[in-house]
């Protein structure tokens, strides 16, 4: 086999492997905005429905084999992991956001005013949860 045919065969093999490699799904960050995700949640009509509560509780947790959570468990876990690993997501910042009145989206948004990186990570998590759980909570 000539060297040019060998190079061509090698290039084709690399292309074939790349084309057949599993494509990683992009993360679902929904609206990817803390305030917009809050507004979506505030408009939900059934936030106390069992499936809504289960979704809110398990979407950011690791995937589990629990039948009640199988549709949504872990779907926002990568985003939540990034949020938890973000150094600017201090206890003070996260406590501030959790202590805001439930539908006070401006309060929640303001909690991240001095923590831009945390706000981006929280936006991904909150946006994902709002998107994943909407069909169970609207």
pLDDT at 23: 52
Q: Which sequence spans correspond to the domains of the chain?
A: 29-137
Q: 64 and 74 in contact (C-beta within 8 Å)?
A: yes
Closest CA to 123 of 73, 91, 76, 90: 76
Q: Per residue of the chain (138 residues), what is the pLDDT tens digit?
A: 444 443 333 333 333 333 334 456 678 999 999 999 999 999 999 999 999 999 999 999 999 888 999 999 999 999 999 999 999 999 999 999 999 998 999 999 999 999 999 999 999 999 999 999 999 999
């Amino acid at each position: 086999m000539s060297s040019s045919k060998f190079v061509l065969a090698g290039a084709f093999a690399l292309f074939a492997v790349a084309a057949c490699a599993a494509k990683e799904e992009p993360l679902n960050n929904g609206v990817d905005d803390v305030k917009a995700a809050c507004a979506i949640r505030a408009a939900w009509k059934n936030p106390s429905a069992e499936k809504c509560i289960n979704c809110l509780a398990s979407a950011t947790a690791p995937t589990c084999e629990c039948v009640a959570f199988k549709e949504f468990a872990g779907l926002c876990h990568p985003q939540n992991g990034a949020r938890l690993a973000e150094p600017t997501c201090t206890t003070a910042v996260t406590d501030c956001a959790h202590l805001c009145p439930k539908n006070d989206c401006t309060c929640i948004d303001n909690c991240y005013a001095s923590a831009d990186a945390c706000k981006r990570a929280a936006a991904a998590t909150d946006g994902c949860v709002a998107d994943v759980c909407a069909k169970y909570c609207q």
